[in-house]
Amino acid sequence: MPVDPAVLTILRDRCERVLNMGHHGFGAEQAKRCRLADIEVEGVKLAGDGETVPERGATATTTVELEVDESCCNISGNAHGGFLAWLIDHCSSLSIFCLSAPDRWTTSGVSTNINTFYISAAPLGTPLRVVSKIIQIGKSSATLEVRVENRDTNKLVALGTHVKQDVKRSPEATARIGKHLSSKL
């Protein structure tokens, strides 16, 4: 069944706001280069007031694109392994936000395990595509698969799995994040 276009609009806006939140602190320069390219969801419905609710078995895949620049490279001029691991962490959160509900996954959670397989080099200037897919999501944990690919050749650069735990936000943190999000809009 096709997804309601209003759902995709809400999810795209939500993901764009999350990407923009990364423009400070660790990875800020790299986060500015990340652009949301695509969202694919199944089993997500409108819940009113700009909220969405995933049904049991809902799925989400997000695609982010960017180019490897000097700030991402090691001394050999290739994307640094630490940068690729950060990219897997940063981009996987978007798929979780696509399946958030008012009572769960209101944050991107916390990482409990990230595995990264480095497959091939991505030299300076390489256009990357980062595809994050929910493998499993429950009330308190989620498992994701993230593929970092050369956008021009489709060659796999890195493959990651990411396990996250849902956390409840304090009212103070909710207010701080809400204030930050409003200043970005």
HEC profile of 150-185: ECCCCCEEEEEEEEEECCCCCHHHHHHHHHHHHHHC
Per-residue pLDDT reduced to its tens digit, 43-66: 898 887 778 888 888 999 999 999
pTM of the model: 0.85
- Say whether pLDDT at 130 is over 90: yes
Per-residue pLDDT reduced to its tens digit, 110-125: 899 999 999 999 999 9
Q: CA–CA separation, 46 vs 16, rounded Å?
A: 19
Number of domains the chain is built from: 1
Per-residue pLDDT reduced to its tens digit, 67-99: 999 999 999 999 999 999 999 999 998 998 888
Cα 48–chain centre separation:
24
- Say whether pLDDT at 181 is over 50: no
For the CA atoms of 100, 102, 107, 112, the dihedral, rounded to the nearest 10 degrees, stands at -60
174 or 141: which leads in pLDDT = 141
154: left (phi over 0), alpha (psi -120 to 50) or beta: left
Rg (C-alpha) for the chain, rounded Å, is 16
11: left (phi over 0), alpha (psi -120 to 50) or beta: alpha
* Contact assessment for residue 96 and residue 106, using Cβ atoms and an 8 Å cutoff: no
Print the domain residue range for 144: 5-184
CATH code of the domain covering residue 143: 3.10.129.10
